[in-house]
Structure formats: C-alpha cells, structure tokens
C-alpha cells in the first residue's frame, strides 16, 4: 500500500490527502512533527534528501517528494489531468505559480502566525509576504472571473493545488472578500464529490 508522510495542518500534505480521497485510493498515513525535527532524521532524509513532507512512499519503497509532483504521479491517466497537451501545460503552469508566487506568501504567513511564537522575529516578514500573497490571489481572480476552474472548464489538480492554502488564507490574515470570483471558486471546489476538509485525519 502507498504510505504518505505528512503533517495534518500542512496544506501541501492536504493536497495529496484530498486527491487520494477523491480517487478512492487507500494509503497508509504517518504524521511527522515538522516542528521538532522529525523530517530531518537520517531515516527520513534517506526517503527525501530535502527533508520535507509530504513525501509519498510507493509499495516498492521508492519515494516521491514535492506535493505537486505527487499530485501529478497519482493523477496521470485520470480526469484530474486534462488529456490535451496545452491544457496539461496550463495545469502545470498553475501548479508552478502556486509553489513560486502563492505558497511562500500565503502558506508561510499562515505558518508564522499559527505555529511560531508571538514574538518570533519572522513576524517582520509578514507585510511583504502578505502583499505578495494578495498579488497572487489577484492573478487567480483575473482567471476565475472568466472561468469556472483554473484550467479549461473542469476540476483538475491545479484547483487542488491552489485550493489547499487559498481556502485557509484567513488564517494568514488575508481577507478574500475583494476577490469574489476566488470565493465562488472555493465553493465550487468544496462541492466536488468526495471532498474532505484539511482537518480530517486519515483513518
């Protein structure tokens, strides 16, 4: 059986949990405490030299790191990745946008606020990060003002990748009310069959 190394509050981990649930695919689940170094042990670094969750271990012991690469691996050949070559590239475009222009500015502020001490010096990073977070959400708004989903007209792993931290942007103090198309899209994503919340601990 597949095994996912993960941390429940991680949006990056949630992406994989959500897709697995929607694929109906069973997976052993092992939580590592990213705050106490459990992803930096020699044993875990042998699975992912970059020392991060989520990391997916296949039945034969080989591992895949990087949440969006794991999504691609699991979704190939399913309706969660379009068949058209241009739309596949668009799916990846939004996923690379997510990791480069969105995650550091939405997920990282949320992490600083939720998981670090109130007097952490990293709070100084918040104004710049949140400004860039708003810019990323504005890019999504421009796309979702004219499209139901990020790629083509269907729900794909690009939506999963960007839903993961956008739907908890309020935990980063980001107000989504100026982005009505994003808010409507969050509702469409949450209404997909077999949707699960980020707080749902796998069995």
Provide the minimum distance between the beta carbon of 36 and a copy of itself in the complex, in angstroms, as a whole number: 19
- Interaction pattern, residues 43-82, with a copy of itself; x per rule: CB under 8 A: ------xx-------x---x-xxxxxxx-xx--x------
Whole-angstrom Cα distance, residue 162 to residue 67? Answer: 12
Q: Give yes or no for residue 152 binding a copy of itself (CB under 8 A).
A: no
Tally of CA atoms within 13 A in the half-sphere of 112 that contains its CB: 20
| Cβ atoms within 10 Å, residue 115 | 12
Provide the minimum distance between the beta carbon of 201 and a copy of itself in the complex, in angstroms, as a whole number: 26
Whole-angstrom Cα distance, residue 106 to residue 111? Answer: 9
Q: Give yes or no for residue 85 binding a copy of itself (CB under 8 A).
A: yes
- Interaction pattern, residues 3-42, with a copy of itself; x per rule: CB under 8 A: ----------------------------------------
Pairing of the two strands 3-6 and 28-31: parallel
Whole-angstrom Cα distance, residue 14 to residue 7? Answer: 9
Q: Give yes or no for residue 123 binding a copy of itself (CB under 8 A).
A: no
Q: Give yes or no for residue 181 binding a copy of itself (CB under 8 A).
A: no
Q: Give yes or no for residue 180 binding a copy of itself (CB under 8 A).
A: no
Q: Give yes or no for residue 104 binding a copy of itself (CB under 8 A).
A: yes
Q: Which stretch binds a copy of itself (CB under 8 A): 17-25, 85-93, 163-171, 179-187?
A: 85-93
Q: Give yes or no for residue 96 binding a copy of itself (CB under 8 A).
A: yes
User: Which two tokens mark 162?
Assistant: 């960007």
Torsion over CA: 88, 90, 91, 92 (sign): positive
Provide the minimum distance between the beta carbon of 191 and a copy of itself in the complex, in angstroms, as a whole number: 25
Cβ distance 27 to 4 under 8 Å? Answer: yes
Whole-angstrom Cα distance, residue 135 to residue 145? Answer: 15
Whole-angstrom Cα distance, residue 121 to residue 15? Answer: 29
Which residues contact a copy of itself (rule: CB under 8 A)?
Answer: 49-50, 58, 62, 64-70, 72-73, 76, 85-86, 88-90, 92-93, 95-97, 99-101, 103-104, 139, 142-143
């Amino acid at each position: 059986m597949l095994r996912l190394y993960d941390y429940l509050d991680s949006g990056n981990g949630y992406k994989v949990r959500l897709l697995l649930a929607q694929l109906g695919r069973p997976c052993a689940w092992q939580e590592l405490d990213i705050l106490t170094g459990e992803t930096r042990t020699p044993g875990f670094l042998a699975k992912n030299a970059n020392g991060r969750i989520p990391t997916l271990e296949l039945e034969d012991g080989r591992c895949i790191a990087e949440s969006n690469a794991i999504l691609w691996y699991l979704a190939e050949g399913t309706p969660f990745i379009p068949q058209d070559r241009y739309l596949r590239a668009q799916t990846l475009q939004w996923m690379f946008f997510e990791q480069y222009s969105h995650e550091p500015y939405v997920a990282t502020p949320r992490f600083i606020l939720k998981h670090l001490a109130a007097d952490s010096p990293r709070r100084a990073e918040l104004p710049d990060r949140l400004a860039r977070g708003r810019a990323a959400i504005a890019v999504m708004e421009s796309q979702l003002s004219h499209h139901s989903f990020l790629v083509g007209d269907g729900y794909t792993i690009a939506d999963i990748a960007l839903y993961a931290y956008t739907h908890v942007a309020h935990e980063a103090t980001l107000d989504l009310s100026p982005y009505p198309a994003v808010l409507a899209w969050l509702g469409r994503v949450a209404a997909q069959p077999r949707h699960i919340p980020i707080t749902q601990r796998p069995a």
